[in-house]
Amino acid sequence: MASLVTLFKSETTDTQETDKLVDLFRNRVELKKEFAALRNEKYRLQDRIKQHQGATARVQQQLQHLENLLLDTEWVNTVVVFYQLRGLAAHCNDKLSCFAEQIKQQREQRVQSKVLLSWNEQRKRKSDRLESRMSEHRMTMQLMEDRLQSERHKLLTMNGFVKLFRGRSLAAQIDDLTSEIETARCEEQELLRDLEAIDKLAAPDHKGLDISAKRSVNFMILSFAQHLYLQFEEDNLVELAKEASEKSVGAINYGAKPECDILLKRLEKRKKEAEEDHDFADVLQKRAKLIAKHAEFRHDDDAVPVPSTVATIFAIDGSGVVHQQEANLLGNNYFGIAKVLSR
């Protein structure tokens, strides 16, 4: 017996030792996983530090380059012109972006209003039909209740001899009328529930613009982009602004101080004239129609036209005369137009 106890104790001890080894192995595996994760996080953070260091170094180089240009009497005026032109490009980009957002919101609100109007009209028609049925139903019920009262009165006022022969038949009619009225009341409750369900109907969700509406929006955006182009076309300011937005300071030389001063005066003059130009809504509409007339699309579900088919600038003077010239605003992404078009 003692030997059996010793044997079982030995087996229990072996099992406990095995469990400890398993736990130790599992802990070791988990520690390896944690270590690997920490090592990966370390490498990721080191990469981010290198990226930030690189970005900081580039900014410092740019600042040093700009400082050198500003200290150079031959370049200081060119730097001023460069940033004025870049500011013009950013100004035009912002104006086009704001216009695009505004025209999209207006069109979406218009479409949503039409959807809601149609939905409300449909809901009203359903409600009117139900109310008409309710009115007819209540009139029928009133006639049935009047008839029931009349039949009950007849039954109550019958003398004994007549009641003996006709009372049972009249009582059956009264029971039938009572049953019909009860059924009619149930139907009335069902009609009321249907009417309440119509009143509680939720308005349809706005699903956005369809392809036709998106194309119409894009024609207006293209029209406004042409408007901006024409405002600063004189003295080649629009091209100079685009070039300044795409290149770095020091890459373009605008000449000596006299040439730079002339360019700045022209730029200021055109900006002032552009700010005073407000009455162009009708021109935008006319130009958008001309753009739409020439626009072509690669696929039926495309909202953005082929750039080469909308590369004609339509300048419309005060007399309504249209003058045409070529400039592929969409293809060359003037004023960041590619980002603001509806797709």
For residue range 36-93, list pLDDT tens digits in order.
Answer: 888 888 788 888 887 877 777 666 666 665 556 665 667 789 999 999 999 999 999 9
Asked if residue 111 lies in contact with residue 213, where contact means CB atoms within 8 angstroms, the answer is yes
More confidently predicted of 48 and 4 = 48
Main-chain phi, psi angles of 17, to 5 degrees: -65, -40
pLDDT at 212: 93
pLDDT band (50, 70, 90) for residue 307? very high
Both structure tokens of 112: 């949503």
Asked whether residue 314 carries a pLDDT value surpassing 90, the answer given is yes
Question: Where on the phi/psi map is residue 81: left (φ > 0), alpha (ψ -120 to 50), or beta?
Answer: alpha
For residue range 205-247, list pLDDT tens digits in order.
Answer: 777 789 999 999 999 999 999 999 999 999 999 999 999 999 9
Q: Is the dihedral of CA 275, 278, 281, 284 positive or negative?
A: negative
Provide, rounded to the nearest whole percent, the portion of the chain with pLDDT above 90: 43
pLDDT at 88: 96
More confidently predicted of 135 and 172 = 135
Supply the pTM of this predicted model.
Answer: 0.69
Asked if residue 219 lies in contact with residue 295, where contact means CB atoms within 8 angstroms, the answer is yes
Tokens 């039409």, residue located: 114
pLDDT at 12: 59
How large is the average pLDDT for residues 127-154?
A: 86
More confidently predicted of 166 and 121 = 121
